[in-house]
Amino acid sequence: MLAEAGITVTDEGKARARAALADADARWTPERRAALRRQIGLPPAAA
């Protein structure tokens, strides 16, 4: 599908994406996510 869209992805590119996803996971702790939910009025996430 990506090739059909004219996008050629390399293993190095996927490693970059994996690192970005992992970084977001690390930055967004449960406490920070809970603060976000409170800000917009969502109930606490299920445990």
- Residue 26 as a binder of other proteins (CB under 8 A): the answer is no
The Cα–Cα gap between 22 and 18 comes to 6
- Residue 1 as a binder of other proteins (CB under 8 A): the answer is yes
Give, as ranges, the residues between 27 and 46 that touch other proteins (CB under 8 A): 27-28, 32-33, 35-37, 39-43, 45-46
Instruction: Tell me the one-letter amino acid at 44.
Output: P
Retrieve residue 23's tokens: 């970084």
Backbone angles phi, psi at 31, to 5 degrees: -65, -40
- Residue 47 as a binder of other proteins (CB under 8 A): the answer is no
Residue reference for tokens 């390399």: 10
- What residue ranges bind other proteins (CB under 8 A)? 1-2, 4-9, 13-14, 16-18, 20-21, 24, 27-28, 32-33, 35-37, 39-43, 45-46
